[in-house]
Amino acid sequence: MKNLLSQLVLVAILVMLPLQLLAVVECSDGIDSDAGAGTVIFGLLGVDDRMELAQSFYIDCDAQLTQVACRFFLEDAELNGVPSLIIGDTIQCKILDANQDLVMFKKHIITETPGNHDIVFDFSHQEFMIASGVYHYLISTSEDKYSRLWWGESFVSGSAFFINNDVWTEQGGDFRSHVLWDSDSSFTATDEKSWNSLKASYR
């Protein structure tokens, strides 16, 4: 009887151990890349030639994405006859899933003067959770103008992409950025039906 009781206790410990290990697993709260070896142009490059820039990143828990901040170099000049983005122009930050489908987006109207600026795209008003997995932020403009984003050596477990006329090319290194999310948010994760409806509302 005593041996049986000992065996039952051992079984109970072995069953509870994985749950205890699971309980202490902590989720991250963002990525922080200080890459800054140089800048890359996005926007209009020439006639019918447009560039967008994207960075992949991994969210390790279901979470609410709260912000994306990127380092831009704004100028007031022309490049091959194309003017630069200036005060009053618009930059877009789109969040895409692993299949490059649109999840959400945010616009920023430029108020900054020429120079280096960390522009923040605030997604905290999007009151829903996104599932853990690979995502991309994509920087673009619908203006027939250009600007620059800082880019350099790799600091995070993701990849930079140059998107020339909708063709994605993976590059080494990362864009200088800070992406934050909140896994402790009280919002409920969307189910597949509402998730698809939500994505469709942004198209």
Query: Could you give all domains of the chain from N- to C-terminal order, each with its CATH number?
Result: 32-201 (2.60.120)
Confidence grade of residue 22 (pLDDT, cut at 50, 70, 90): very low
Mean pLDDT, rounded, of the chain? 83
With contact defined as beta carbons under 8 Å apart, do 189 and 195 qualify?
no
Kind plus residue range of the DSSP H or E element containing 30: strand 30-33
Higher pLDDT, 193 or 134: 134
**pTM value > 0.75:** yes
Q: Both ends of the chain: CA-CA distance in Å? A: 67
- 3-class SS letters over 10-28: HHHHHHHHHHHHHHCCCCC
Residue recorded with tokens 């909140």:
182
